Amino acid sequence: MEGVIADLHIHSRFSRACSKGLNLESLEKWARIKGLGLLGTGDFTHPVWLKELKDNLEEREGILFSKTGFKFVLSGEISLMYTDNNVGGGRRVHLLLLAPSFEVVDKINSWLDTRGRRDYDGRPIFNVSCEDFSAKMKLIDDKIEIIPAHIWTPWFGVFGSATGYDSLKEAFGSQAGEIHAIETGMSSDPEMNWRLSELNDKTIVSFSDSHSFWPWRLGREATIFKRADSYDEILREIRENDILGTVETDPAYGKYHWDGHRNCGFSCSPQKTRELGGKCPECGQDLVIGVESRVDELANQDVREGKKFYKMLPLHELISFYLKSGLATKRVWDIYNKLIREFGNEFNVLLEVDAERLKGLVDARLVDLIMQNREGRIKVKPGYDGVYGAIDDGKEVSGQKTLF
C-alpha cells in the first residue's frame, strides 16, 4: 500500500485504564502485525515512560528508532480542565501533542512542572485554557503540533456536547490559526467533519487513542502519510494538508455516536432525541448527547470533497462476528494468526489481498465479510454513552432499547 500508515495517538502503561503490558516491545510487535509503519510514543509527559524512551530509542531527524529500526514520534495527550470566563462555565478539552525532539519535550515538561504534577498519570490534567496552553507551546518551539483530540466526544472533545465549544475560535481565541489539524475520534468520520466550514482549511487526521497493544485497538484508526523520513516531513504534511488519507472505523462503532443512557440501556437517533425533548424515556433525565447529534447542531454546509478515507472495522471484529465468539478467544486468534502468517499483516488482509486468495485459506462467508468491510458496507448498531457499537446481526439486544 502506498504511503506510511501511522497511529500517533496511543498511551503507555502509565495512563489510567491502560494495559499493564504496554511497553515498547509489545507496541512495536503488534504495530508490525497490524501493518503500521509509524507509532506515537504516547505519554511523553510521564517521567518514567520518558526515561524508557530515552534509554531505548535513538533520535534521528525527529524520528525515534528502536533497536530493530521501527519508527516512533514523540507524542502525548494533555487534559485541560478550567473555567472559561469568556463563554462561562467549566471546560474539559483533550489535546494531542507532537514534539520534534527530546530536548523540546524536556522544555515542555519543565513548564508543566510549574503548573502541576506529571507523575500520577500518562495523561495529566492542568488548569490551563486552550488559548494559554497553545500560546506557551508556540513560545517553547514552533514545531510543537497541537491537535484537538477526538473532537466530538461529549466529555473531553473540543466540540463535545457536555463540556466543549461551538468553534475552534471560541476555544483557542488568538491561537486558533495555530491549529492545523483535528482528530476525528471513533464516533465521527471525515464526511461528518466536512459539514463544518470552519474545518475547510484543517487537516483531518485519525488515530486510535489506544489503551492497549491488541490489534483490535491499536491502529483501528490511523493516518496515511506520504513519507515518514523525518519529523519535519510529517509536520509539513499535517500543516499543509498533504496527507494521503485516513483509516476510520465506522463512526457508529464509536462509544458516543448516538444519544442515550447506558444505565437505562437506552439509545436513539438525533431525530428521536428531538422528539423526546432530550430526555431519557426510561428515567426522565437528560440523555447523553452523542456525536451525530452534535455534528447536526453545528453543521453549516453540505458535505464537500476531501481526502480519501477507508471506513472499516478491525479484523478481529469480523472473525468474532463470523464465529459468534469473543474477540480474544482461541478460535478467533487461530484464524487471525493463520491470515497474518500467510499475508504478513492485518492491513494487507483488510485492504489488499484479493478474495480468491483469501478463499484458499478461510471460509467464503468470512471472505465476504472482509470484502464488505473493505467497501464500507457492514451495518453497525450505533454505540452510545460509553458503549461500543457492534456489527448489526438483525437481532435485538436483550435489555437494550433503541429508537430510530
Q: Could you tell me which of 150, 132, 146 has the C-alpha nearest to residue 178?
A: 146
Same domain, 108 and 13: yes
Residue 258 lies inside a defined structural domain of this protein: no
Q: How far is CA 128 from the centre of its chain?
A: 23
- Residue 336 to residue 316: CA distance in whole angstroms: 7
Residue 61 lies inside a defined structural domain of this protein: yes
Would you state the cell numbers that stand for residue 34, as one nine-digit string? 497490524
**Crossing angle for the helix pair 47-56 and 24-34, to the nearest 10 degrees:** 70
Which residues of the chain are modeled with pLDDT < 50?
none
Same domain, 150 and 242: yes
Nearest 5°: phi and psi at 109?
A: -65, -35
**97: three-class secondary structure by DSSP:** strand
Same domain, 217 and 319: no
pLDDT of residue 88: 84
- What is the number of other CB atoms lying within 10 angstroms of the CB of residue 365? 8
Same domain, 332 and 215: no
Residue 298 lies inside a defined structural domain of this protein: no
Residue 399 lies inside a defined structural domain of this protein: no
Residue 116 lies inside a defined structural domain of this protein: yes
Same domain, 214 and 341: no
Same domain, 202 and 348: no
pLDDT of residue 393: 83
Please report, for the domain that includes residue 213, its CATH number. Answer: 3.20.20.140
Domain end: 252, 267, 297, which one? 252
Same domain, 46 and 128: yes
Q: 75-105: b or e for each residue (b if 16 or more CB lie within 10 Å)?
A: bbbbebebebeeeeeebbbbbbbbbbbbebb
Same domain, 99 and 235: yes
Residue 8 lies inside a defined structural domain of this protein: yes
Same domain, 200 and 119: yes
pLDDT of residue 396: 64
Domain end: 219, 252, 285, which one? 252
Residue 293 lies inside a defined structural domain of this protein: no
pLDDT of residue 397: 57
Domain coverage including residue 215: 4-252
pLDDT of residue 398: 54
Maximum alpha-carbon separation in the chain? 63
Q: Please check whether residue 383 is in contact with residue 402, taking contact to mean a CB–CB distance below 8 angstroms.
A: no
Domain end: 215, 236, 252, which one? 252
Q: Could you tell me which of 125, 190, 121, 124 has the C-alpha nearest to residue 152?
A: 190
Asked whether the CA dihedral 276, 278, 280, 283 is positive or negative, the reply is negative
C-alpha distances in angstroms, 246 versus 11, 189, 222?
20, 9, 6
Domain count, the chain: 2
Give the model confidence (pLDDT) of 92-135 as tens digits.
999 999 999 999 999 999 999 999 999 999 999 999 999 999 99
Same domain, 130 and 54: yes
Residue 277 lies inside a defined structural domain of this protein: no
**253: three-class secondary structure by DSSP:** helix
Same domain, 166 and 20: yes
Same domain, 246 and 341: no
